[in-house]
Chains A and B, each alone.
Chain A
Amino acid sequence: EVQLVESGGGLVQPGGSLRLSCAASGFTFSTYAMSWVRQAPGKGLEWVSTLSGGGSSTYYADSVKGRFTISRDNSKNTLYLQMNSLRAEDTAVYYCAKGTNRGGTTDYWGQGTLVTVSS
Protein backbone atom coordinates (compact mmCIF):
# COMPACT_ATOMS: atom_id res chain seq x y z
CA GLU A 1 0.00 0.00 0.00
CA VAL A 2 1.38 3.39 -1.01
CA GLN A 3 1.78 5.76 1.93
CA LEU A 4 2.99 9.35 1.90
CA VAL A 5 3.41 11.20 5.18
CA GLU A 6 4.30 14.88 5.18
CA SER A 7 5.87 16.72 8.10
CA GLY A 8 7.62 19.98 8.88
CA GLY A 9 4.77 22.44 8.53
CA GLY A 10 4.09 25.18 11.05
CA LEU A 11 4.00 28.90 11.70
CA VAL A 12 6.82 31.00 10.26
CA GLN A 13 7.36 34.73 9.92
CA PRO A 14 7.49 36.44 6.53
CA GLY A 15 10.98 36.13 5.10
CA GLY A 16 11.64 32.98 7.09
CA SER A 17 12.46 29.44 6.01
CA LEU A 18 10.96 26.01 6.49
CA ARG A 19 11.78 22.52 5.24
CA LEU A 20 9.02 20.04 4.52
CA SER A 21 9.59 16.30 4.41
CA CYS A 22 7.57 13.49 2.86
CA ALA A 23 8.24 9.91 3.95
CA ALA A 24 7.21 7.40 1.29
CA SER A 25 6.53 3.68 1.50
CA GLY A 26 4.80 0.92 -0.41
CA PHE A 27 6.51 1.47 -3.77
CA THR A 28 9.99 1.69 -5.29
CA PHE A 29 10.57 5.34 -4.42
CA SER A 30 13.64 5.91 -6.59
CA THR A 31 11.85 5.02 -9.82
CA TYR A 32 9.06 7.59 -9.62
CA ALA A 33 8.87 11.34 -9.98
CA MET A 34 7.51 13.12 -6.93
CA SER A 35 5.68 16.42 -6.65
CA TRP A 36 4.56 19.05 -4.18
CA VAL A 37 1.12 20.61 -4.65
CA ARG A 38 -0.34 23.24 -2.33
CA GLN A 39 -3.80 24.49 -1.46
CA ALA A 40 -4.34 27.86 0.17
CA PRO A 41 -7.20 27.99 2.70
CA GLY A 42 -10.51 27.79 0.86
CA LYS A 43 -8.77 27.86 -2.53
CA GLY A 44 -7.92 25.43 -5.31
CA LEU A 45 -4.91 23.24 -5.98
CA GLU A 46 -1.66 24.79 -7.19
CA TRP A 47 1.23 22.74 -8.53
CA VAL A 48 4.49 23.77 -6.84
CA SER A 49 7.33 21.52 -7.98
CA THR A 50 8.26 18.13 -9.43
CA LEU A 51 11.47 16.10 -9.21
CA SER A 52 12.33 13.11 -11.37
CA GLY A 53 13.00 9.72 -9.81
CA GLY A 54 16.75 9.93 -10.20
CA GLY A 55 16.80 13.52 -9.06
CA SER A 56 18.28 14.97 -12.24
CA SER A 57 15.27 16.95 -13.48
CA THR A 58 13.48 19.61 -11.48
CA TYR A 59 10.48 21.75 -12.34
CA TYR A 60 9.06 24.74 -10.44
CA ALA A 61 6.03 26.98 -10.64
CA ASP A 62 6.91 30.58 -11.43
CA SER A 63 5.46 31.62 -8.06
CA VAL A 64 8.17 29.72 -6.13
CA LYS A 65 11.09 29.67 -8.57
CA GLY A 66 14.26 30.90 -6.90
CA ARG A 67 12.79 30.57 -3.40
CA PHE A 68 11.89 26.88 -3.09
CA THR A 69 14.13 23.86 -3.70
CA ILE A 70 12.87 20.32 -4.16
CA SER A 71 15.16 17.39 -3.38
CA ARG A 72 15.04 13.72 -2.47
CA ASP A 73 17.05 11.12 -0.61
CA ASN A 74 16.32 7.83 -2.31
CA SER A 75 18.22 5.92 0.38
CA LYS A 76 15.71 7.22 2.92
CA ASN A 77 12.63 7.17 0.65
CA THR A 78 12.09 10.82 1.51
CA LEU A 79 11.14 13.90 -0.51
CA TYR A 80 11.93 17.41 0.69
CA LEU A 81 10.87 20.96 -0.03
CA GLN A 82 13.15 23.72 1.23
CA MET A 83 11.17 26.95 1.36
CA ASN A 84 13.04 30.25 1.75
CA SER A 85 11.94 33.90 1.68
CA LEU A 86 8.44 32.86 2.64
CA ARG A 87 5.55 35.20 1.96
CA ALA A 88 2.02 35.42 3.31
CA GLU A 89 0.73 34.05 0.00
CA ASP A 90 2.69 30.83 0.57
CA THR A 91 0.27 29.97 3.38
CA ALA A 92 -1.31 26.66 2.37
CA VAL A 93 -1.61 22.97 2.98
CA TYR A 94 1.30 21.35 1.17
CA TYR A 95 0.68 17.91 -0.31
CA CYS A 96 3.32 15.43 -1.38
CA ALA A 97 2.25 13.35 -4.38
CA LYS A 98 3.66 10.33 -6.19
CA GLY A 99 4.03 10.64 -9.94
CA THR A 100 3.38 8.09 -12.64
CA ASN A 101 6.31 9.26 -14.78
CA ARG A 102 3.83 10.13 -17.52
CA GLY A 103 2.93 13.73 -18.20
CA GLY A 104 3.05 15.04 -14.67
CA THR A 105 0.21 12.79 -13.49
CA THR A 106 0.12 12.08 -9.76
CA ASP A 107 -1.68 9.00 -8.50
CA TYR A 108 -1.23 9.03 -4.72
CA TRP A 109 -1.28 11.96 -2.32
CA GLY A 110 -0.37 12.41 1.32
CA GLN A 111 -2.67 14.06 3.84
CA GLY A 112 -0.77 17.33 3.71
CA THR A 113 1.01 19.62 6.15
CA LEU A 114 -0.09 23.18 6.91
CA VAL A 115 2.33 26.05 6.45
CA THR A 116 1.28 29.41 7.87
CA VAL A 117 3.32 32.50 7.06
CA SER A 118 2.39 35.30 9.42
CA SER A 119 3.93 37.78 11.81
Chain B
Amino acid sequence: QSALTQPPSASGSPGQSVTISCTGTSSDVGGYNYVSWYQQHPGKAPKLMIYEVTKRPSGVPDRFSGSKSGNTASLTVSGLQAEDEADYYCSSYAGSNNFVVFGGGTKLTVL
Protein backbone atom coordinates (compact mmCIF):
# COMPACT_ATOMS: atom_id res chain seq x y z
CA GLN B 1 0.00 0.00 0.00
CA SER B 2 2.06 2.95 -1.28
CA ALA B 3 1.17 6.40 -0.06
CA LEU B 4 -0.07 9.04 -2.46
CA THR B 5 2.53 11.69 -3.30
CA GLN B 6 2.05 15.24 -2.06
CA PRO B 7 4.55 18.11 -1.92
CA PRO B 8 5.79 18.51 1.65
CA SER B 9 5.10 22.23 1.68
CA ALA B 10 3.19 25.00 -0.06
CA SER B 11 2.78 28.68 0.66
CA GLY B 12 1.01 31.83 -0.40
CA SER B 13 0.23 35.33 0.76
CA PRO B 14 -3.18 36.34 2.11
CA GLY B 15 -5.66 36.71 -0.72
CA GLN B 16 -3.64 34.59 -3.14
CA SER B 17 -4.49 31.13 -4.42
CA VAL B 18 -2.47 27.98 -3.85
CA THR B 19 -2.85 24.51 -5.34
CA ILE B 20 -1.71 21.28 -3.69
CA SER B 21 -1.26 18.17 -5.82
CA CYS B 22 -1.81 14.53 -4.92
CA THR B 23 -0.42 11.91 -7.28
CA GLY B 24 -1.36 8.27 -7.22
CA THR B 25 -1.88 5.53 -9.75
CA SER B 26 -4.63 4.07 -11.88
CA SER B 27 -5.36 1.73 -8.95
CA ASP B 28 -6.38 4.56 -6.66
CA VAL B 29 -6.69 8.23 -7.68
CA GLY B 30 -7.03 7.50 -11.37
CA GLY B 31 -9.41 4.59 -10.97
CA TYR B 32 -12.08 6.04 -8.74
CA ASN B 33 -13.80 9.36 -8.07
CA TYR B 34 -13.32 8.94 -4.34
CA VAL B 35 -10.59 11.44 -3.55
CA SER B 36 -10.91 13.34 -0.28
CA TRP B 37 -8.97 16.20 1.25
CA TYR B 38 -8.54 16.77 4.99
CA GLN B 39 -7.32 19.82 6.89
CA GLN B 40 -5.49 19.32 10.18
CA HIS B 41 -4.44 22.07 12.55
CA PRO B 42 -1.73 21.26 15.13
CA GLY B 43 -3.03 19.05 17.91
CA LYS B 44 -6.44 18.72 16.30
CA ALA B 45 -8.32 15.98 14.50
CA PRO B 46 -8.48 16.05 10.71
CA LYS B 47 -11.47 17.80 9.14
CA LEU B 48 -13.02 16.78 5.82
CA MET B 49 -12.77 19.63 3.31
CA ILE B 50 -13.43 17.95 -0.05
CA TYR B 51 -14.90 14.55 -0.90
CA GLU B 52 -15.59 12.64 -4.11
CA VAL B 53 -13.00 14.83 -5.87
CA THR B 54 -15.02 18.05 -6.06
CA LYS B 55 -17.74 18.08 -3.39
CA ARG B 56 -17.66 20.34 -0.32
CA PRO B 57 -19.28 19.32 2.97
CA SER B 58 -21.71 21.78 4.48
CA GLY B 59 -19.87 24.57 6.26
CA VAL B 60 -16.66 24.40 4.23
CA PRO B 61 -16.00 27.74 2.49
CA ASP B 62 -16.25 27.77 -1.29
CA ARG B 63 -12.68 29.06 -1.33
CA PHE B 64 -11.76 25.38 -1.20
CA SER B 65 -12.15 23.41 -4.42
CA GLY B 66 -11.00 20.06 -5.75
CA SER B 67 -10.27 18.58 -9.15
CA LYS B 68 -8.69 15.56 -10.77
CA SER B 69 -6.87 14.80 -14.00
CA GLY B 70 -5.71 11.27 -14.64
CA ASN B 71 -3.79 9.98 -11.63
CA THR B 72 -3.38 13.41 -10.01
CA ALA B 73 -5.89 15.19 -7.83
CA SER B 74 -5.58 18.80 -6.71
CA LEU B 75 -6.85 21.00 -3.91
CA THR B 76 -7.04 24.73 -4.58
CA VAL B 77 -7.44 27.26 -1.82
CA SER B 78 -8.43 30.68 -3.14
CA GLY B 79 -8.36 33.94 -1.23
CA LEU B 80 -5.93 32.56 1.33
CA GLN B 81 -6.63 33.46 4.93
CA ALA B 82 -4.47 33.10 8.01
CA GLU B 83 -6.68 30.32 9.38
CA ASP B 84 -6.00 28.21 6.29
CA GLU B 85 -2.49 27.56 7.58
CA ALA B 86 -2.54 23.85 8.39
CA ASP B 87 -1.53 20.42 7.15
CA TYR B 88 -3.54 19.04 4.26
CA TYR B 89 -3.89 15.35 3.43
CA CYS B 90 -5.40 13.70 0.40
CA SER B 91 -6.84 10.21 0.42
CA SER B 92 -8.27 7.89 -2.18
CA TYR B 93 -10.27 4.71 -2.35
CA ALA B 94 -7.97 1.97 -3.64
CA GLY B 95 -10.27 -0.99 -4.19
CA SER B 96 -11.39 -3.77 -1.88
CA ASN B 97 -7.85 -5.02 -1.19
CA ASN B 98 -6.05 -1.84 -0.14
CA PHE B 99 -9.28 0.09 0.54
CA VAL B 100 -7.93 3.55 1.48
CA VAL B 101 -4.57 5.22 0.95
CA PHE B 102 -3.43 8.62 2.26
CA GLY B 103 -0.93 11.10 0.95
CA GLY B 104 2.06 12.11 3.03
CA GLY B 105 0.60 15.53 3.79
CA THR B 106 1.38 19.12 2.75
CA LYS B 107 2.11 21.89 5.21
CA LEU B 108 0.43 25.07 3.94
CA THR B 109 1.97 28.30 5.17
CA VAL B 110 0.22 31.64 4.82
CA LEU B 111 3.00 34.18 4.50
**What is the bound-complex CA distance between A105 and B37, given in angstroms?**
10
Q: Which of B80-94 contact A (CB under 8 A)?
A: 89, 91, 93-94
Q: Which of A59-95 contact B (CB under 8 A)?
A: 59, 61-63, 95
B102 in contact (CB, < 8 A): yes
Q: Which residue of A lies closest to B93 (CB)?
A: A103
How far is the CB of B72 from the nearest CB of chain A, in Å?
18
Q: List 13 A-B contacts (CB under 8 A).
A: A37-B46, A44-B105, A47-B99, A59-B96, A59-B100, A62-B1, A103-B33, A104-B99, A107-B51, A108-B48, A109-B46, A111-B45, A112-B45
Q: Count residues on chain B whose CB falls below 8 Å from chain A CBs.
A: 28
CB pair A45 B45 closer than 8 Å: no
Whether A47 touches B100, Cβ cut-off 8 Å, given contacts A103-B34, A104-B34, A105-B51, is yes
Q: Which of A1-56 contact B (CB under 8 A)?
A: 35, 37, 44-47, 50
* Chain A interface size, under 10 / 10 to 19 / 20 to 34 / 35 or more: 20 to 34
Contacts of A61 in B (CB 8 A): 1
